[in-house]
Amino acid sequence: MKNENKNANAGGRKPLADPKGAERRIRAWLLRTCPEEKPLIGDFRKDVTFAEVNRRMHGGENFYDICDCGESVQREIVFRELARLYGTKYAYWYDLWLNHG
């Protein structure tokens, strides 16, 4: 019997092709887009990009661990931007996080 990792590529999903803008750093984008989040941004990683989140979430990692983020509002904002960038629905990223991360 073959040993399968149920989190490998998030249940068989391969990362989506990275569009233009996916290499932007999320923290800097978040601070420009939603300056009201500045007091809550805390330890949100400075170097993580949308492309990295795409790749790592599809690999089964949790959004909060990837970004060192603990704020659900920030997750929601980032998921909305991922949906816009990658041409998906918000629910795609939410499902990936909830069921595969």
Categorize the per-residue pLDDT at 9 as very low, low, confident or very high, splitting at 50, 70 and 90. low
Question: What global pTM score does this model have?
Answer: 0.85
Question: 54-94, pLDDT tens digit by residue?
Answer: 999 999 999 999 999 888 999 999 999 999 999 999 999 99
Higher pLDDT, 27 or 12: 27
The Cα-based distances of 1 to 4, 9, 11 in angstroms read: 9, 20, 18
Residue type, position 50, single letter: F
b/e sequence 75-95, b meaning 16+ C-beta within 10 Å: bebbbebbbebbeeeeebbee
Categorize the per-residue pLDDT at 12 as very low, low, confident or very high, splitting at 50, 70 and 90. low
Q: Helix H segments across 1-101?
A: 9-12, 26-33, 50-58, 63-67, 72-86, 90-100
